[in-house]
Structure 1
Amino acid sequence: MKLLIGQSLKERQKIVQLTSQPFSTRAKKHDEENTFPMENIADLKKIGYTTLTVPKSYGGQGLPLAEWLPLQETIATYDGSTSLSIGWHMGLITQISESQNWPETILDRLFYEVLHEGKLVNAAASEPETGSPTRGGKPTTVAKKENDSWIITGRKSFTSMAPALDYFIVSATMEDGQVGNFLINQSAAGVKIEETWNSIAMRGTASHDLYLKNVRIPNDHFLEVIHPGKKSPAGWLLHIPACYLGIAQAAQNFAIDFANTYSPNSLSTSIKELPNVQVKIGENEADLIQARHFLYSVAKKWDVSTAEERVQMQGELGAVKYHVVNSAVMIVDRAMRVVGAQSLFKDNPIQRYYRDVRAGLHNPPMDDRTLLLLASQAFTSSE
């Protein structure tokens, strides 16, 4: 069933749900073997999922945030790693569409290949030497101009979905000291993926290191000048809290199923009748409701705002990520308390939810940056 047939969010959610159900079973295998769920990505491509954010002017659906973020949440209830991985592609296509800063020839080619050939793209910005690019460190990856080409050399880390990517958006420092983004094809000579990813969380994202050794790219693959640490508001990054919200929902679902069926011989019924269990489930429901309202109301606001209005939304976007992810961590923790010591058993998926959800604390924007920004805005408005 193709997503292009679905005319409403509810219809698309149903299609994505049916497609994603097998991801849950596969997630255990990929987590334990530290492998990438290539079959999940193939399934999403089959229903046209990876094309949904391509702009209508290029033949795509051009779905706004409020229409594709719920789909990301749905995928995450079955496999957080798949949701976070594909979310980078979906979000970057959204950003590229909104900014239109790239050379027109590159935009035409990329959108065509995403639509008709299933090509995937992600950014490669983090480096071992600089840490998160949001902290403002200048890339040690370098780009040198040579006639009508650029020569790129360096190393990038946290390259999510590396085995499935067709293109990398690579940040590099140029000879004049400026930093630029460059588009590099995975098949280019000198491109190498080293399987370094061995995190205990989000193991299925395959966020390996990308090595670039004298990679020659055409002149027009220089995309734009960027300023590390001076990020403009980016609504598409809300795919991050949407993912962790889905993981939290998965933990809540597991806890409810467990409470409905677990009946120790000290009780005449299942533990769902215990007041302390009901309170934890109720607290989780309250947090899920609050998180969804916050996430999707800000997403809708972004969709209808002008470019000038979006510039003022940095604090709101950061606050969404801060509240939703921290709530998701608490939701999973409470769910584990409902399940008890069995939640630590390797065969129970809830221990994977616990490991995966904590990864959200280290996705951008970081909590301290958000809180400092909100404090600055509060002091400024009081003057």
Structure 2
Amino acid sequence: MFLSDTLLETIRERAAAYDRDNTFFTQDFEDLKEAGYFTAFVPREFGGAGLTLEEITREQMRLAGAAPATALAVNMHQVWLGVANTVYRTGDASMNFMFEDAVRGDVFAFGVSEAGNDLVLFGSDSEARGQDDGGYRFYGTKIFTSLSPGWTKLGTFGAETGPDGEQLNVWGFVGRDEGVTVKDDWDTMGMRASQSCTTVLDGAYAPVDRIVRRIPSGPSADPFIFGIFANFEILLASVYTGIAQRALDVAVATVKKRTSKASGSVYANDPAIRWRIADAAMKLDVLFPLIKSAAADVDNGVDRGPLWFPQLSNVKSRATEVALRTVEKAVRVSGGSSYFNRSELSRLYRDVLAGLFHPSDDESVHSAWANALLGPVE
């Protein structure tokens, strides 16, 4: 394993305070940087540890079990490096700069989501304006920008009208030195330490060598878009699976200690509790091979054909839904103490709810599968 158990335990000990105070995970951030985790996904030939996506999923599960909000925020940096890996494996060097920048200490964040825009990767309300030097300036408002206090480079995109009137999506990486305002507006139910604040782009500049794509709006088979989709869905699934596993572990430890006055025995001997724990574990157990298989196929460049995108959506959707049910069952068997904010299960329950809001949501997953199997509605 890349992250030591000692480091993860230290991170776990801080999680409650970050959540209570609604503050960024500054100490975790520094410790993870020192441990080399922000370059773990960089290929060895560029100076990183060369972990595969499959290996990163395991690390993200472990980190999420210690501190969900820390893992979710770090996820965004790892996703971008995953995209760069996906593109690199096709022989395309257009994103190699990300490996070099990461080794120099840059941390990447996602500036993609926009309020009310369910096109997600396929269209933007933001504007990309070309500059005489070939670079672009971006104008728009991005929401859920995790790592807000810590990122140094923001991957973002905006719309541009091409010479023939076609709509293009322009993707690039901006710094935070000019044209970027980060709002202090992150006050949520859970995932509080992620500090996923709103980011306003008002002329944020990406030089020509940091513009990675100009592609038509709408669905695309470009490896860059596939890379975002695949790494985002798989790594999100990993985070929420890690949360669920931690909740189950806490519940198991709890019922072994709690004693029933009615029976005089620990709750671990209660048939109803045993059934609920087993049911949670059985459903959770399915996620690990699902995530492992998808990650390995991305690592190895396997093309699953037209079902690839729906299957990736299903990995994320299945993981977040199972995780929610798992944490709920853990709370049920652990008793009323888990309802207090001081309980780790209380925090895990609030954190796991965030999984419902990440793309792909349950509705879009069902729509994607229906379209793949039945064709579009006539």
Q: Same fold (TM over 0.5)?
A: yes
Q: Which residue of 1 is the match for residue 299 of structure 2?
A: 303
Q: Which residue of 1 is the match for residue 132 of structure 2?
A: 147
Note closer, same or farther for the CA distance 1:145–1:375 as it changes in structure 2 (3 Å cut).
closer
1:309 deviation in Å? 4.0
Counterpart selection for 1:76 from 44, 57, 64: 64
Q: Is structure 2 residue 199 aligned with structure 1 residue 210?
A: yes
Note closer, same or farther for the CA distance 1:281–1:178 as it changes in structure 2 (3 Å cut).
same
Q: Which residue of 2 is the match for residue 156 of structure 1?
A: 142
Instruction: Return the alpha-carbon distance in structure 1 between the equivalents of residues 97 and 294 of structure 2.
Output: 32
8 Å contact from structure 1 (residues 139, 179) kept in 2 = yes
Q: Which residue of 2 is the match for residue 92 of structure 1?
A: 80
Instruction: Return the alpha-carbon distance in structure 2 between the equivalents of residues 297 and 30 of structure 1.
Output: 34
Question: % of aligned pairs identical?
Answer: 23
Counterpart selection for 1:224 from 213, 216, 221: 213
Q: Which residue of 1 is the match for residue 20 of structure 2?
A: 32
Kindly provide the CA deviation profile for residues 145-199 of structure 1, in whole angstroms up to 9, marking residues without a partner as x: 232143322221110111110100111122434220121012x222221111122
SS at match of 2:286: helix
Kindly provide the CA deviation profile for residues 330-376 of structure 1, in whole angstroms up to 9, marking residues without a partner as x: 11111111012222111101111111112112112121111122222
Note closer, same or farther for the CA distance 1:226–1:29 as it changes in structure 2 (3 Å cut).
farther
Describe how 1:333-352 pairs up with structure 2 within 5 A.
Answer: 333-352=328-347
Describe how 1:107-146 pairs up with structure 2 within 5 A.
Answer: 107-115=95-103, 117-131=104-118, 133-134=120-121, 136=122, 138-146=123-131
8 Å contact from structure 2 (residues 237, 320) kept in 1 = yes
1:60 deviation in Å? 2.4
Q: Which residue of 1 is the match for residue 290 of structure 2?
A: 294
Instruction: Return the alpha-carbon distance in structure 1 between the equivalents of residues 238 and 70 of structure 2.
Output: 13
Deviates more, 1:237-246 or 1:211-220: 211-220
Cα-Cα RMSD:
2.3
Note closer, same or farther for the CA distance 1:155–1:348 as it changes in structure 2 (3 Å cut).
same
Note closer, same or farther for the CA distance 1:217–1:245 as it changes in structure 2 (3 Å cut).
closer
Instruction: Return the alpha-carbon distance in structure 2 between the equivalents of residues 298 and 140 of structure 1.
Output: 31
Kindly provide the CA deviation profile for residues 120-154 of structure 1, in whole angstroms up to 9, marking residues without a partner as x: 102201122525615x4x32322222321433222
Amino acid at match of 2:242: G
Uncovered stretches (5+) of structure 2, i.e. residues with no partner: none
8 Å contact from structure 1 (residues 16, 75) kept in 2 = no
1:16 deviation in Å? 3.6
Q: Is structure 2 residue 135 aligned with structure 1 residue 166?
A: no
Q: Is structure 2 residue 187 aligned with structure 1 residue 201?
A: no
Q: Is structure 2 residue 249 aligned with structure 1 residue 253?
A: yes
TM-score by length of 2: 0.89
Instruction: Return the alpha-carbon distance in structure 2 between the equivalents of residues 178 and 89 of structure 1.
Output: 25
Q: Which residue of 2 is the match for residue 57 of structure 1?
A: 45
SS at match of 1:240: helix
1:310 deviation in Å? 6.4
Instruction: Return the alpha-carbon distance in structure 1 between the equivalents of residues 324 and 119 of structure 2.
Output: 22
Kindly provide the CA deviation profile for residues 285-312 of structure 1, in whole angstroms up to 9, marking residues without a partner as x: 1112111122212222332344x44665
Note closer, same or farther for the CA distance 1:368–1:131 as it changes in structure 2 (3 Å cut).
closer
Q: Which residue of 1 is the match for residue 371 of structure 2?
A: 376
Task: Extract structure 1 runs of 4+ deviating beyond 6 A.
Answer: none
TM-score by length of 1: 0.87
Note closer, same or farther for the CA distance 1:215–1:296 as it changes in structure 2 (3 Å cut).
closer
8 Å contact from structure 2 (residues 339, 346) kept in 1 = yes
Note closer, same or farther for the CA distance 1:92–1:311 as it changes in structure 2 (3 Å cut).
farther
Instruction: Return the alpha-carbon distance in structure 1 between the equivalents of residues 201 and 91 of structure 2.
Output: 22
Instruction: Return the alpha-carbon distance in structure 2 between the equivalents of residues 260 and 181 of structure 1.
Output: 52
